[in-house]
Amino acid sequence: MLHPFDSRCEQSQSLQITDICADMSPAFRKEVQEFFPDARLTFDKFHVIKLLNEAVDQVRREEQKTVSALKSSRYLWLYNPNNLSETKKKRLNSLTQMNLKTAKEDHRIYPAKLRGCN
């Protein structure tokens, strides 16, 4: 993946690359370490937010088996609250007040979303 790029660079040029942004593919991580050992690897925000949303959704799916209020609430947790209608914002707010594992999971990761990762 990165090898063709690296083969066009002198080794000294490869060492000048300080930062690389890529997805979370193990192949990318391995090649970054191999060809750009001094570069700092940053995962792209799309894949980070995707994993965070999947974690919240997994907790919600498990919890909704015993908490009927969570049924049909998937997108309330996954959407940016600023893009929700007032009705949906009120429902999300009432769910977050219920001491649910889903709300705790969302609260734990939401600051990452607020830092511009959504």
Low-confidence stretches of the chain (pLDDT < 50) are 118
Provide the pLDDT for residue 108.
Answer: 57
DSSP class of 6:
H
Q: Average model confidence (pLDDT) for the chain?
A: 82
Cβ within 8 Å of residue 32, ≥6 positions away: 2, 20, 22, 39, 41
Identify the CA nearest to 98 among candidates 67, 75, 66, 77.
67
pLDDT digits (tens, 9 = 90+) for 68-101: 999 999 988 888 888 889 999 999 989 988 988 9
40: number of Cβ within 10 Å? 11
Q: Give the chain's count of helices (H) and strands (E).
A: 7, 2
Instruction: State residue 114's pLDDT score.
Output: 53
Which 3 state secondary structure label does DSSP give 19? strand
